[in-house]
Amino acid sequence: MARQNRRGRDVSGILLLDKPVGYTSNQILQRVKRLLNAKKAGHTGSLDPIATGLLPLCFGEATKVSRFLLDSDKRYLSTFQLGQATNTCDTEGEVISERPVKVNREQIEQALTGFMGDIQQIPPMHSAIKRNGQPLYKLARQGIELELEPRQVTVHDLKLINLSQDACSLELDITCSKGFYIRSLARDLGETLGCGAHVSALRRLVVAGFQVDDAISLHELEGAEDATQLDQYLLHADDGLGHLPGVQLSQDAAYYLCRGQAVRAADSPATGWVRLYANGARFLGVGQVLDDGRIAPKRLFHSG
């Protein structure tokens, strides 16, 4: 790739990357940021190094929608190894217990029903959640174990896809809310079955309606001759907000909204976040419906 401007380009949009195994999300973000020669970039939720799959990366103005992708539902395909529990709840950790596996498909499927719907889940110690400003994984590496409070998360769908002949390895299809930890599910399912378990493979398939089948690989990105060739892979910022209702504003309403004032719109929903448009198509940003029905600007874009 040709030599780049150290200051970077004003690139704006969302890139769907198929993350390879062995990298943290931030390592991938910085690598792609250099490839695009972009000034500003952010990812939309971490994937562990052992994980592969869909990682939407936001650049420039599109970083303003990162939080909405982070807060969206996600779908995963994950393999659990039964019979061994590790201190990280995945293959990167040390084995802390080994027990025989004496379960069948019917018992596993019955156990999975207890993890459906709204549930309370305790995050793993090896996570990016912070306690007094310190990530838990850093404390865990120092041998510090804390008693963590359970958090409410939602499992929309949970299916057993495959089970090995010896019942020691199973594959699950999981659709869940933000804040859900697949590693915690492996830990808790293993305890429910009485044999222990950890995540041996994880692939993210869907984020906020984006599909991994539409993502590009890091190898393909690195094959570009220059940064501008990669602009063809960038999606518009509002492509990541399809789960929010769209609202068309009149010319006058758009004028006042862009100056920070709450406005009214004929087709506005009663509550929640909305995508805002003017002149039939121009994307203005994201707003929130107030109690009195007006829409307050929250994340406005400098360009459509």
**Integer Cα distance of 257 and 265 in angstroms:** 11
Other Cβ atoms less than 10 A from the Cβ of 185: the count is 26
Beta carbons of 50 and 90 less than 8 angstroms apart: yes
Tokens matching residue 59: 């650049």
H/E stretch holding 25: helix 25-36
Active site residue 10: no
**Integer Cα distance of 42 and 25 in angstroms:** 10
**Integer Cα distance of 175 and 192 in angstroms:** 20
H/E stretch holding 273: strand 273-278
Which residue in 48, 90, 188, 239 is the catalytic one?
A: 48
- From residue 279, how far is each of 186, 217, 258 by CA, in Å? 49, 36, 13
Angle at which helices 105-112 and 182-193 pack, to 10 degrees? 130
Active site residues: 48
